[in-house]
């Protein structure tokens, strides 16, 4: 069985189908790992969600920030902004089935060789802590009163991990790490203002994966979320959001030794710069 990890789709359904043709994907023998953000802003979020759901066990998708926004929007009708493209899902006859399926997706997935998440891991978390924190938030999303959490999910605080965090503050921090983080300081304090490529951030901030001594360094991590970073390999990580939504590329990697990299140009694509490990280390 071949396993392919694919970067953020965000409703770019036609591009996803072209990439799967390039991979010669066989749903009976292969498996797809999606790095989250299946929906929002792109033209065919409903079709994307239905398709990935239809793949059953042939597809694993972790939750991204736009997927979480869809879940929250299903509880708060006035939440979506004008640029959202979630209305077709929220008005679909199978809306409830799709929403229930989505809220049962994991925040963190792994096998013996690789880990998959949408955004990042704070430097204080090792594998066990990462797994435990994901399970805590997933259990909340799958509970009968999940909507109470979603209505309080938004916010940037707390912005640093403390073992004593409980209740809503802990849940919000967990979700922000798994679905929103890019940069943090050396102590792991999250920064949500900086979203640009490495080198554009204020002094004192580093990409989460470049924090010296982070406890997840032994984990081989695949993540998306950071389109301005583009495809990147380094620090035992694979960043695979290469900006399909923004007219650049849709990326997949085939898990193995070595990892194989595939990409297709999206409409009007301009290939983003691919940073080497040495370039990234110089930048930070």
State the residue range of the domain holding 179: 3-283
Residues 6 or more apart whose Cβ sits within 8 Å of residue 31: 1, 2, 3, 4, 57, 58, 59, 60
Q: Hey, is 54 helix, strand or coil?
A: helix
In angstroms, rounded to a whole number, what is the distance separating the alpha carbons of residues 276 and 284?
13
Task: Output the tens digit of pLDDT for each of the chain's 284 residues.
Answer: 899 999 999 999 999 999 999 999 999 999 999 999 999 999 999 999 999 999 999 999 999 999 999 999 999 877 665 567 899 999 999 999 999 999 999 999 999 999 999 999 999 999 999 999 999 999 999 999 999 999 999 999 999 999 999 999 999 999 999 999 999 999 999 999 999 999 999 999 999 999 999 999 999 999 999 999 999 999 999 999 999 999 999 999 999 999 999 999 998 543 444 443 333 333 33
Give the pair of three-digit tokens for residue 224: 């998306």
- Looking at the structure of the chain, the number of domains it has is 1
CATH number at residue 61: 3.60.21.10
Burial 229-248 (b: 16+ CB within 10 A, else e): bbbbbbbebbbbbbbbbbeb
Question: Which secondary structure element, helix H or strand E, spans residue 48, and what is its range?
Answer: helix 45-54
Cis peptide before 258 (omega within 30 of 0): yes
């Amino acid at each position: 069985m071949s396993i392919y990890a694919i970067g953020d789709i965000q409703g770019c359904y036609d591009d996803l189908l072209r990439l799967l043709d390039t991979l010669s994907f066989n749903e009976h023998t292969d498996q797809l790992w999606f790095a989250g953000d299946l929906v929002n802003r792109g033209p065919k979020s409903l079709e994307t969600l239905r398709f990935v759901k239809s793949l059953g066990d042939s597809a694993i998708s972790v939750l991204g920030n736009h997927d979480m926004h869809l879940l929250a929007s299903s509880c708060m009708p006035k939440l979506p902004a004008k640029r959202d493209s979630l209305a077709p899902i929220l008005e679909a006859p199978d809306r409830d089935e799709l929403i229930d399926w989505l809220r049962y997706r994991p925040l963190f997935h792994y096998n013996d060789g690789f880990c998959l998440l949408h955004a990042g891991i704070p430097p204080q978390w090792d594998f066990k802590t990462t797994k435990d924190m994901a399970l805590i938030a997933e259990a909340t999303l799958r509970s009968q009163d999940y909507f109470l959490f979603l209505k309080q999910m938004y916010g940037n605080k707390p912005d640093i991990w403390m073992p004593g965090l409980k209740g809503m503050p802990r849940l919000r921090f967990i979700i922000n790490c798994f679905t929103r983080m890019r940069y943090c300081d050396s102590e792991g304090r999250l920064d949500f203002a900086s979203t640009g490529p490495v080198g554009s951030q204020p002094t004192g901030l580093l990409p989460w994966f470049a924090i010296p001594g982070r406890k997840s360094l032994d984990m081989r991590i695949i993540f998306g979320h950071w389109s301005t970073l583009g495809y990147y390999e380094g620090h035992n990580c694979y960043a695979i959001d290469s900006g399909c939504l923004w007219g650049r590329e849709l990326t997949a990697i085939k898990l193995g030794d070595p990892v194989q990299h595939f990409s297709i140009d999206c409409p009007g694509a301009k290939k983003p710069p691919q940073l080497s490990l040495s370039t990234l280390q110089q930048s930070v």
